[in-house]
Amino acid sequence: MSQDFGSYQNEIYLNGLAGIVPEYPMAHAELEAKAQAAMPPSVWSYVAGGAGDEHTQRANSTAFQRWGLIPRMFVGASQRDLSVDLFGMTLPSPLFMAPVGVIGICAQDGHGDLATARAAARTGVPMIASTLSADPLEAVAAEFGATPGFFQLYTPTNRELAESLVHRAERAGFKAIVVTLDTWITGWRPRDLATGNFPQLRGHCLANYTSDPVFRALLDRAPEEDPQAAALAWTRIFGNPLTWDDLPWLRSITTLPLVVKGLCHPDDVRRAKDLGVDGVYCSNHGGRQANGGLPALDALPGVVAAADGIPVLFDSGVRDGADIVKAIALGATAVGVGRPYAYGLALGGTGGVVHVLRALLAEADLIMAVDGYPSLADLVPDALQRIT
């Protein structure tokens, strides 16, 4: 399955002949600046901010600059194949949308989960839908079209509720369960602390809980009648400090492919693999959870080696097509973006997300064309050179 992602630029240049210039920014810095202007300050600081002085968040992106792709000539890479096989599915490209818990309120109409799912349907780029959404997971899944969707689980302390969420995701047609391990407690985020802002405490993005029979049974009054009590109940069950002893249970509650998110140490990868996960997800949560850590990209080669053949999903700091190419060359099976598509959504709803995804893929595709790497299999570590 090869798709001509680079042709997005032809479309743009041809429109230019007719005097039409792109509606949305072409470069990340401008996308970020315009999104800031379009978002309420509290949502902007929650999305753009990270842990501590955000050193790790910045390092996630600058880490990519320490690698360069070596151009190869006389390859004639006139057709590129960016397709990947993941858990028995063939995806048109390695790009996916990482779970973003407040994506719902990043959209001007407050239904950003649905708008993002529609962008997945239009582009073939899968969305990993967060547990924290403004619309219930069933409504999100209904918008995926032919594109597979994955469900990200924040494992609540109440196991019955965890199982209910996972089984709802199975019934709704999600194709994998991604369990996030690094966020059972919120990291120290000065930007949000400075304004005392935590969206979920204000009742935002709790639709999966308030629509869940197990969660509702924990409440004295229906969440529609007493949303504040529901939000308080949520704080009591949200974060589960999982240990290795919990992994066999997580494995047992679903027959879908199980992926664990937040792994950066090779020993953790080996142990998770031994306990039967189908994939590992190398990420430091975009630097939002713990400052002072390694850029996620620096952890990737060790994770890939330890994964020993099972798929490795990767995110944190990916901002353009070159970053995607480099992450693939360092061994990622699939590469996620978080903030970039949230910014596209804030600017233009589904259309804004589609633009961001198409631009990322066009650049990756054209780099592979120019530099002579016709397929993802050609992007191996030796295709890169360390710059410093």
Among 34, 175, 285, 358, binds ligand FNR (CB under 6 A): 285
Beta strand ranges found along 262-353 (DSSP E): 279-282, 312-314, 334-337
Show the site string, 116-155: x = touches ligand FNR by CB under 6 A, - = not: --------------x-x-------------------x---
When the beta carbons of 336 and 374 are compared against ligand FNR, the nearer one is 336
Nearby residues of 385 by Cβ (< 8 Å), 6 or more positions away: 67, 68, 70
Position 295 contacts ligand FNR (CB under 6 A) = no
What phi, psi does 97 have (nearest 5°)?
A: -95, 120
Show the site string, 34-53: x = touches ligand FNR by CB under 6 A, - = not: ------------xx------
Position 80 contacts ligand FNR (CB under 6 A) = no
- Asked if 285 is an active-site residue, the reply is yes
Q: Please name which of 12, 82, 79, 46 lies closest in space to residue 355, comparing C-alpha atoms.
A: 12
Count residues near ligand FNR (CB under 6 A).
24
Residue numbers 92-111 binding ligand FNR by CB under 6 A: 98-102
CA distance 307 to 274: 10
Distance of CA 381 to the CA centre of its chain: 23
Nearby residues of 230 by Cβ (< 8 Å), 6 or more positions away: 203, 206, 209, 210, 219, 223
Angle at 150 between CA 365 and CA 153, to 5 degrees: 130
Angle at 75 between CA 71 and CA 79, to 5 degrees: 105
CA distance 163 to 249: 10
CB of residue 14 to ligand FNR, shortest distance in Å = 31
What phi, psi does 11 have (nearest 5°)?
A: -60, -45
When the beta carbons of 109 and 308 are compared against ligand FNR, the nearer one is 109
Beta strand ranges found along 27-183 (DSSP E): 67-69, 84-86, 89-91, 95-97, 128-129, 150-153, 177-180
Position 286 contacts ligand FNR (CB under 6 A) = yes
Q: Which of 28, 111, 204, 285 is catalytic?
A: 285
When the beta carbons of 68 and 187 are compared against ligand FNR, the nearer one is 187
CB of residue 178 to ligand FNR, shortest distance in Å = 7
Question: Closest-CB residue for ligand FNR?
Answer: 338
Among 28, 34, 189, 261, binds ligand FNR (CB under 6 A): 261
Residue numbers 299-338 binding ligand FNR by CB under 6 A: 315-318, 337-338
CA distance 332 to 300: 7
CB of residue 338 to ligand FNR, shortest distance in Å = 2
Q: Which residues are catalytic?
A: 285
Query: Can you give the binding site for ligand FNR, defined by CB under 6 A?
Result: 46-47, 60, 98-102, 130, 132, 152, 180, 261, 283, 285-286, 288, 315-318, 337-339
